[in-house]
C-alpha cells in the first residue's frame, strides 16, 4: 500500500473546504493509501484551525482525534533543516523519512519546489488524486 504524508495545509483544506484534499482523506479511510502523521504535524493542524479559522479548541481537538484514527503516527528522531524559508515544512520531511513514505502531498510551494526528497516524490493534492488514486 502506498505510504503517504499530508502537509498541514492539506488537512486544513480538507476540514474546511472539502474538495480534493477531502478525497485524499477518504482514500485513507477506505484503506486505499496508508497515511502517516506525527505529533508536530497534528499540533500545527490544531493551531491553524483555532488561530486562522476560529475553530473552538474542542472542535479542533475532535478533528485531531479523527485524523489520528485514520493515520499512523510516527515520532521522527531526526531533525532536518532542508527548507530555510518555511522552517515548519521540515516537520513534513521528518515525518516522511520516519514513515518511509513514498509521497508527500502538499499545496505549499516551498515543499513542492523540491519535487523529491530522497525517494519521496512531492506533489500537489490534484496531482496525487489524478495519478496515485486512479
pLDDT in tens, 17-62: 999 999 999 999 999 999 999 999 999 999 999 999 999 999 999 9
pLDDT given at position 86: 85
- Across the range 4-13, mean pLDDT stands at 98
Domain 2-131 adopts which CATH fold?
A: Rossmann fold (3.40.50)
Does the pTM of the predicted model rise above 0.85? yes
DSSP per-residue letters across the chain: -EEEEE-HHHHHHHHHH-HHHHHHHHHHHTTSEEEEE-HHHHHHHHHHHHHTT---HHHHHHHHHHHHHHEEE----------SSSTTHHHHHHHHHHHT-SEEE---HHHHTT-EETTEEEE-HHHHHHHTT-
How does pLDDT run across 66-78, given as a tens digit for each residue?
999 999 999 999 8
How does pLDDT run across 58-116, given as a tens digit for each residue?
999 999 999 999 999 999 998 998 888 888 999 999 999 999 999 999 999 989 999 99
Amino acid at each position: 500500500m502506498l505510504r503517504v504524508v499530508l502537509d498541514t495545509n492539506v488537512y486544513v483544506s480538507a476540514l474546511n473546504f472539502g474538495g480534493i484534499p477531502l478525497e485524499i482523506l477518504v482514500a485513507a479511510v477506505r484503506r486505499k493509501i496508508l497515511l502517516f502523521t506525527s505529533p508536530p504535524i497534528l499540533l500545527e493542524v490544531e493551531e491553524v484551525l483555532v488561530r486562522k479559522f476560529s475553530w473552538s479548541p474542542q472542535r479542533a481537538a475532535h478533528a485531531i482525534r479523527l485524523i489520528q484514527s485514520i493515520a499512523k503516527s510516527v515520532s521522527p528522531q531526526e531533525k532536518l533543516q532542508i527548507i530555510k524559508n518555511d522552517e515548519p515544512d521540515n516537520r513534513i520531511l521528518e515525518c516522511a523519512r520516519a514513515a518511509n513514505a513514498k509521497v508527500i502531498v502538499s499545496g505549499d510551494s516551498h515543499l513542492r519546489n523540491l519535487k523529491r526528497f530522497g525517494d519521496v516524490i512531492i506533489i500537489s493534492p490534484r496531482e496525487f488524486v489524478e495519478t496515485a488514486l486512479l
